[in-house]
Structure 1
Amino acid sequence: MPRLILPLLLLAMLLIGSPALAQSITLDAGAGGSSFSGRLVQVMALVTVLSVAPGLLVMVTSFTRIVVVLSLLRSALGLQQTPPNMVLVGLGLLLTAYIMGPTMDKAWVEGVQPLVDGQITEEQALERTVEPFRAFMKAHVRPKDLAAFQSLAGVAGTPPGQTVAEVQAANAEPGLRTLIAAFVISELRRAFEIGFMLFLPFLVVDMIVAAVLMAMGMMMLPPVVISLPFKIIFFVLVDGWLLVAQSLIRSYGGTG
């Protein structure tokens, strides 16, 4: 579990506090004040990072696509609270850990473990930890989304005082915040595409049931009352949960 959490914590520190890492903060707290002040700042930074970590998990991993697809699947089945949100989020976290396993392991080996062993500094650890996540996002971001956010950030085009080569070099290596924003938008788009495909077979079941009820003259009976059991048994018979999990994992090209 630490291999999943610590890389995200270091990545959060890079996003919210990288300029401050190079500064030295000293407060006067009497005897031993320097050591006490350092510990106090570390505790405050750790609490801040822990509060940001859940949002960071959503932004830089596959969790967004997975949890949106699972929510759309529940809506397609016509179920309101089954499975409950806790179960969907838990399944999303497990699938995310499976998909992001190689990325997390690489961030641990290259960034966290050398820092724990005292081989590199905090700044070097942050840079090495963020690189696997950057590579993962660049591999799965849609070029159109990335170009749009680069344009919004003022990277695209040729500003005064810059050459075309400099602009192309900047576009080839987007900033982390720009990459994360484009990655989240790309994940939402793909999640809704998958959700649309999941809706189709259940929509067919609803239409068939509604047509049968109309042919029988049962206008007052809501079609959803009859179609819901058929959709559930249809989903169970085709082993739907396994198929959805496999499809989500394969949508990332295997295991991340």
Structure 2
Amino acid sequence: MIRTIVFIAAMLAMSGIAGAQGLPADILNSPALSAPVEGSVASWIIRTFGLLTVLSVAPGILIMVTSFPRFVIAFAILRSGMGLATTPSNMIMVSLALFMTFYVMAPTFDRAWQDGINPLLQNQINETEAMTRISEPFREFMLANTRDKDLQLFIDIAREKGQTVVTGDRVDLRAVVPAFMISEIRRGFEIGFLIMLPFLVIDLVVATITMAMGMMMLPPTSISLPFKILFFVLIDGWNLLVGSLVRSFT
């Protein structure tokens, strides 16, 4: 995260210097910067536009190629199972899921930085090679956590349309990313089902007792809610859930 902020600050500083000089071509054609932009103002503009585009779609990329969806789905089902409408708030759940994502994806981020971004900033590789090196750690992570059935689905669909997404042993990202996403959604619902079971049992027990006592007008959920919260706290539910979610990734 710090490296990303430094990288963005460096780009903004470069644009500020160019504006102060009033002649971007002189700055960009200097020996220090001629290699990354190849002496072209148009190239610099295209790269800056590409950077802004990547930053604008960064939240979507975070959702598509990381562990974030599984965490959010599990937390949302947990809140629904406990019968809490707004507690914990969406901000708390999303923030927790976000930091858990950074924790799980830290090795992948480090590899992408060391293999792709850092050499690009040092002008050791070009943009095309950098994109390949940056995407490779994410490809390996997604393939390790994608069901073969889901991946084969998109490979078969591409084959039916006359497209090729497999080159040797390498699967194109356009097939890997959607396969990974539906695999994550499926696993999130599987985990959510296991989370819901004990709360469902508590609801059934409370509903049976209230019906047997003739309390027809009293909503069973209003009685079961404190018991579900107490149950979740006594078993140290947050520790168990977060630990299980983090360990579920390979």
Query: TM-score range, shorter-chain basis?
Result: 0.7 to 0.9
Q: Is the 8 Å Cα contact of residues 68 and 191 (structure 1) preserved in structure 2? A: yes
Which TM-score applies when normalising by structure 1? 0.80
1:210 alignment partner in structure 2: 207
Q: Is the 8 Å Cα contact of residues 155 and 166 (structure 2) preserved in structure 1? A: no
1:242 alignment partner in structure 2: 239
Give 5+ residue unaligned stretches, structure 2: 9-22, 27-38
CA distance in 1 between partners of 2:197 and 2:249 (Å): 23
Kindly state the Cα deviation for residue 123 of structure 1 after the two structures are TM-superposed.
Answer: 1.3
2:177 alignment partner in structure 1: 180
Q: Relative contact order (C-alpha < 8 Å, sep 6+): which is higher?
A: 1
1:139 alignment partner in structure 2: 144
Do structure 1's residue 201 and structure 2's residue 206 form an aligned pair?
no
- Please, which of 211, 216, 224 is the counterpart of residue 221 of structure 2? 224
> Once the two structures are superposed, what CA deviation does each residue of 1:42-93 show, in whole Å capped at 9, x if it has no partner?
3322221111110000000000111111111110111111111111110000
Q: AA paired with 2:200? A: L
CA distance in 2 between partners of 1:57 and 1:139 (Å): 17
What is the number of residues matched between the two proteins?
224
Q: Is the 8 Å Cα contact of residues 4 and 104 (structure 1) preserved in structure 2? A: no
1:88 alignment partner in structure 2: 93
Which TM-score applies when normalising by structure 2? 0.82
RMSD: 2.7
Residue correspondence of structure 1 range 52-201 to structure 2 within 5 A:
52-154=57-159, 170=167, 172-201=169-198
Give 5+ residue unaligned stretches, structure 1: 10-29, 160-166
Q: Percent sequence identity over matched residues?
A: 51
CA distance in 2 between partners of 1:44 and 1:56 (Å): 17
CA distance in 2 between partners of 1:242 and 1:132 (Å): 29
CA distance in 2 between partners of 1:155 and 1:139 (Å): 25
Q: AA paired with 1:205? A: I
CA distance in 2 between partners of 1:169 and 1:44 (Å): 30
Query: Are the structure 2 counterparts of residues 68 and 118 from structure 1 closer, same or farther at C-alpha, using a change threshold of 3 Å?
Result: same
Kindly state the Cα deviation for residue 168 of structure 1 after the two structures are TM-superposed.
Answer: 11
Q: Is the 8 Å Cα contact of residues 3 and 105 (structure 1) preserved in structure 2? A: no
